[in-house]
Amino acid sequence: MRPAQGAGLRAGIVTDGGLRDTEGVFKTGLPAYHRRPSSPPSRIVHQPADLGLPIACGGVAVYPGDIIVGDGDGVVVIPPDIVDAVAEEALATTLYDEFAEEEVARGRSLIGLFPGAREEAKRDFEAWKSRRSGSG
């Protein structure tokens, strides 16, 4: 947990079950994603059986070493061998979204910007990135 925190990342909780004392958990500031609040589990029935094995959570396979990323919209599971490619695509998408928001705020139509960028929007985006980085 500490290396992730040192890199500006935070630990959290993800379960497709429930959490008890949901309000208290959220007050701690710890990111927590769960299906529903629940009563305290029975220590007789609920005991850890194993650690470090693949699981299913929310209908998704999660393997040891997978990268889990969550925000207010939900949680994604990223296999470690593609995490760099996913991060690059996420950055590119975020930059395009910033560009598109600025364009729409200036009165440009969404048509041609979304759902797929037309050639004019792609050219405008490349010019926007150049101006933004100071190379144009």
Q: What are the boundaries of each domain within the chain?
A: 2-78, 84-133
- How sure is the predictor about 115, in pLDDT bands with cuts at 50, 70 and 90? confident
Asked if the model's pLDDT at residue 3 lies above 60, the reply is no
CA distances from 93 to 86, 89, 96, 122 (A): 10, 6, 5, 12
| Omega of the bond leading into 115 within 30 degrees of 0 (cis) | yes
pLDDT average, residue stretch 108-118: 90
For residues 49 and 86, give the distance between their C-alpha atoms in angstroms, rounded to a whole number: 32
Q: Name the more confident of 9 and 32.
A: 32
For residues 120 and 136, give the distance between their C-alpha atoms in angstroms, rounded to a whole number: 18
- For the segment 15-34, what is each residue's pLDDT rounded down to a tens digit? 888 888 888 888 988 888 88
Residue 55, beta-bridge partner list:
62
Domain 2-78, second-level architecture? 3-Layer(bba) Sandwich (3.50)
| pTM (2 d.p.) | 0.68
**Whether 31 contacts 25, CB under 8 Å:** no
